[in-house]
Structure 1
Amino acid sequence: MATIKKTIQEINEKIKKGKAVILNAKEMAELVKNVGKKKAAAEVDVVTTGTFSPMCSSGLLFNFKQYPPLIKASKVWLNGVPAYAGLAAVDAYLGATEPTEDDPLNRVFPGQFKYGGGHVIEDLLRGRSVHLRAKAYGTDCYPRKYLEKDITLGELNDAILLNPRNCYQNYNCALNLSSKIKYTYMGPLRPHGANVNFATSGCLSPLFNDPYLRTIGTGTKIFLGGGVGYVIGHGTQHNPSPPRNQRGLPLKPAATLMLKGDLKQMDPKYIRGLSIIGYGCSICVGVGIPIPILDEEMAWFTGVSDEDIQMPLIDYGEEYGQGKAKPLKYVNYSELLSGSIEFEGKKILTVPVTSYSLSLEIADTLKKWIEKGDFLLTEPQEFFI
């Protein structure tokens, strides 16, 4: 069989003609296992991926319009959640993890929060009114010093989901070997290693299907929160050179992506505010990335199975917070999905913080968009590895 070589332009032409073959990542893993990478590369044009998981480094860049007299806001709140207003007159950025200043839960349990920026974003997306409050010091061109009104998503000039760090390529499995319960961004961890919490969507996870980011870069068009979004750069804490296993998959948290999309196009099913007990507020974000099968290597990468993915088991009990924690062992994703793992002769319950069912739904939704010709692929303009 001749070597398979395709271009994104050629694949897009097939999509336009309704002749492209699209599989989700789970289907592709089965195909590569059964027929091998050469035949899979010849048969398949695009593989769709998906993940729905807490992604703390997310937020909303918004413009709330001018209402005479004009204002140059220096402090802004939405439903009591502070937004950063050091941008322009009525531009502000709302972080997903920012809590309300007077959270009722925090009054009873200090350090715990019920409502934050992620919840405001979800409320806007669900069509609910949120309370805008803005203060200013006043200038000749912007004389207003105070603004207070209820607004909806439709009333905002701009509402851009702008996420500095999403889609971690691999992540820690968290357990707690100390004698006290630990409240973490991975959820509560019971003492003496009673549970292991883990993230990512395994073989469906976008960056496991393109471990060297050959097809993902600045300008890549994606599914974001139920609408169309784009990769606009590598994310913060991006690590392009992690240790890898024999399949090229990273053995620790590695690549990340910076994403943007129009919130007004999105679906609240795939954007949800989150309160993590004892930790604070966050947001769950749905992301799906199409992987073009340009050659046999990309078929091999997208043939990744849950058994191929090795994740580091980290003790969050004491040393993690000091930056000293090291992997206790590596666990494959299939074991984690089974509901328990073995550690030091003991069976430990495993708890996912990523929704596997919604991750698969996202991959399938993106697959349908491409099959219908509503979604074409884009050429990356900058690569990160």
Structure 2
Amino acid sequence: MSKNRTIDEINQKIINDDANIFTAEEFKKLIKNDETPSFDEVDVVTCGTCGVMSGTAAILNFIATDPGIFIRANEVYLNGVPAYAGPCPNEWLGSVDVILHGTAHSIYDESYGGGFLLKDILEGKEIDVRIESAEGKTIENSISLKDITRAQIIGARMAFKNYTAFTNPHNKAVSSIFSAVALEGNLRGLTFSGCGDLNPLQNDISQNVIKEGTRVLLNGAQGYVLGNGTRSSPEKPNLMLSADLTQMDSYYIGGFKTGQGGEVYDTVAVPIPVLNEEIYNNLLITDDEVDIPVSDIKGRHLPLDETNYKKLWADYSLRPQYDRSKCLECDSCIVEEICPTNAFAGERLNLAYCFGCGMCANYCPNEAFDMNTGSVDLTINNKDVNIPIICRQSDRLRANKLSLKLKKMIQNQEFKL
């Protein structure tokens, strides 16, 4: 006889402080330790993912200047990043509506883009504004979070059910959004995305729970699933999500430098109420059962081999250890130059900014950074190779932290299923 329960039954258990709630990390550890909870011993599993999510955009309204200064904005730049004016013209009001792309690059520095700008806004920093008006005026000012009257993130393509790994089998380095720097050729490095068995859609493959209207945490703010995202498919689903930018935690969102300029990362957590055995059985899937294709970074969709997330994440380090005594204060610090999130500057490692990508450990010539990012055995062009993992574009530490935050919010009845 199949087992079933309703959302109302689980909610009542939460109210009675009798619900068994696990983060995905906690639940998977029990499985790996042969201590798997039974169907009756688990009510909710909070799942998370963090990574580069190019579909991120923000709709902002902010006060740029006093009313009557200009008729309407034609072009708007925030710290040099273009923000597209409209759809509302706001004639003569001194305020503007804009749509900001997370992948937009500053006209002054392509490594600084929408993702970095959104983090700067949330951190309360002053943002330079330049407006080119319809009548030919140039208005320059500065704003901060307090000047923004409304801000909403809409992710058109977020939380893919894991993704792809890339390597470069060619003789020359290839620049790509899938690597923090140009990826060297001759299979000298591998980069990948995806949080494996922590990922929400990996834990609800049939989307029994994750559907339009499902409540989520997006960068720490309560939001909703608007539906499946652009380029979503049954094999590789992703989500369209939305939440209030001003309620977000800057720790969970930011910029990520790539070989093609600045990108944006986000963190998503979704509760999976265990309503039936199908949902429960899907939660039992672990990293060793989650396959990931390895593709040619130049072709993107040209599969070379396949591996799984256990081989990519295993028990490898999630953050580097920095030994300042080994820093030789190079005239030009390669780590400071290539760190995707600007976590290393002035001989200091800011762990609040660190993404755990592994670039510092793989590129510092003085081995000042200790971090085991692992390697993977593959067969490419009929040749067995071991390729070091040099760059992760997903962060399991942030995914775990947001999943834990969601668990506590559910327990405290601050988040309703």
Letter in 2 for 1:332: N
**In the alignment, what sits opposite 2:163?**
171
1:219 touches 1:232 (CA, 8 Å); kept in 2? Answer: yes
Matched, 1:24 2:16: no
Q: 3-state DSSP class of the match of 2:19?
A: coil
**In the alignment, what sits opposite 1:101?**
107
Q: Deviations for 1:283-342, whole angstroms, at most 9, x for unmatched residues?
A: 11111111110011111111220101000110114x33xxxx432222011111241111
In 1, Cα distance between equivalents of 2:195 and 2:122: 25
Q: 3-state DSSP class of the match of 1:50?
A: strand
Letter in 1 for 2:248: M
In structure 2, relative to structure 1, the CA distance for the partners of 1:41 and 1:72 (3 Å cut) is farther
**In the alignment, what sits opposite 2:279?**
298
In structure 2, relative to structure 1, the CA distance for the partners of 1:328 and 1:134 (3 Å cut) is same
**In the alignment, what sits opposite 1:134?**
131
In 2, Cα distance between equivalents of 1:158 and 1:79: 19
Q: Deviations for 1:146-165, whole angstroms, at most 9, x for unmatched residues?
A: 53321111211101111111
For normalisation by structure 1, the TM-score amounts to: 0.84
Q: Deviations for 1:6-40, whole angstroms, at most 9, x for unmatched residues?
A: 1222222222222211011132234456466xx62
Q: Deviations for 1:221-247, whole angstroms, at most 9, x for unmatched residues?
A: 11111221211121111112x2xxxxx
2:148 to 128, 152, 156: 156
Matched, 1:125 2:118: no
In 2, Cα distance between equivalents of 1:180 and 1:145: 47
In 2, Cα distance between equivalents of 1:65 and 1:14: 46
Matched, 1:326 2:302: yes
In 1, Cα distance between equivalents of 2:73 and 2:271: 40
In 2, Cα distance between equivalents of 1:155 and 1:198: 38
Structure 2: tracts of 5 or more residues without a match:
90-95, 315-373
1:47 to 28, 45, 48: 45
Equivalent residues, number: 342
Give the alignment of 1:263-274 within 5 angstroms.
263-274=245-256
In 2, Cα distance between equivalents of 1:73 and 1:11: 50
1:349 to 360, 363, 388: 388
Percent of aligned pairs with the same amino acid = 34
For normalisation by structure 2, the TM-score amounts to: 0.78
Letter in 1 for 2:197: C
1:72 touches 1:88 (CA, 8 Å); kept in 2? Answer: no
In 2, Cα distance between equivalents of 1:316 and 1:184: 7
1:225 touches 1:266 (CA, 8 Å); kept in 2? Answer: yes
Superposed displacement of residue 189, structure 1: 2.0
2:162 touches 2:195 (CA, 8 Å); kept in 1? Answer: no
In 1, Cα distance between equivalents of 2:8 and 2:195: 29
2:57 touches 2:155 (CA, 8 Å); kept in 1? Answer: yes
Matched, 1:376 2:401: no
**In the alignment, what sits opposite 2:233?**
239
In structure 2, relative to structure 1, the CA distance for the partners of 1:71 and 1:234 (3 Å cut) is farther
RMSD of Structure 2 on Structure 1 (CA): 1.8
**In the alignment, what sits opposite 1:116?**
113
Letter in 2 for 1:353: Q
Q: Which moved more, 1:12-21 or 1:163-172?
A: 12-21
Superposed displacement of residue 210, structure 1: 0.5
1:281 to 262, 273, 283: 262
Letter in 1 for 2:212: T
1:73 touches 1:135 (CA, 8 Å); kept in 2? Answer: yes
In 2, Cα distance between equivalents of 1:35 and 1:124: 44
Matched, 1:359 2:357: no
In 1, Cα distance between equivalents of 2:116 and 2:102: 8
Q: Deviations for 1:240-290, whole angstroms, at most 9, x for unmatched residues?
A: 2x2xxxxxxxxxxx10111111111111110112221x2111111111111
Structure 1 consecutive aligned stretches of length 4 or more whose deviation exceeds 3 Å = 30-36, 144-147
In 2, Cα distance between equivalents of 1:8 and 1:299: 14
In 1, Cα distance between equivalents of 2:385 and 2:79: 46
**In the alignment, what sits opposite 2:241?**
259
In 2, Cα distance between equivalents of 1:7 and 1:169: 25
In 2, Cα distance between equivalents of 1:206 and 1:312: 19
1:32 touches 1:40 (CA, 8 Å); kept in 2? Answer: no
Letter in 1 for 2:11: N
In 1, Cα distance between equivalents of 2:252 and 2:163: 21
In 1, Cα distance between equivalents of 2:187 and 2:45: 37
Structure 1: tracts of 5 or more residues without a match:
104-112, 139-143, 243-253, 378-385
Superposed displacement of residue 374, structure 1: 1.0
